[in-house]
Amino acid sequence: MLNGILQELEFVEKDDDDNMSKALRLLAARWACKLGHIQCRVTAMSSLLSNLTDPKFKFQPWWKDWIYCAGMMMGTESMSNRLFEIYNNTKDVNYKKYLCCAEDIEILMQNVANLWSFTPTQDERMHLNRIITKKLGVVEYIIENYFEIHHSW
């Protein structure tokens, strides 16, 4: 069903789209990516990569969460490094959330380790813990690799 909606609406907004089409497109894109729709994730990753490498690449502000989070679902280590650099320069907490959208467990755990080292207060660390424990596989990874994980966690 989502595939049909996305084929009809596509991922790119057009100037003459009505608000209902825009809202439906964004909702369908969010759910499609969450449910593993490959074209959705590739489109989001491509948009994120374009945004990270080309300052002229623009998108509507309401697409930012989708582009950044869904883009990181298939994101690479270099994309994570760039997002972490942005987070480190801005301290915008949304970038923590985006970094935790990575689905590659190795990239995700590296992102968490980087974020943890720059998270000074107990409240901030608890917030980060709440973000990462919602991800499938994180708790299992921590249990399986407990003795290999840096003890500052």
Q: What is the residue extent of each domain of the chain? A: 1-74, 76-152
Question: pLDDT tens per residue, the chain (153 residues)?
Answer: 556 656 655 667 777 888 888 888 889 899 999 899 999 999 999 999 999 999 899 899 999 999 999 999 999 999 999 999 999 999 898 998 999 899 998 898 888 888 878 777 888 778 777 777 777 777 777 777 767 665 544
User: The pTM is what?
Assistant: 0.81
Which two tokens mark 51? Answer: 């945004």
CA–CA separation, 79 and 61 (whole Å): 20
79/153 Cα distance (integer angstroms): 24
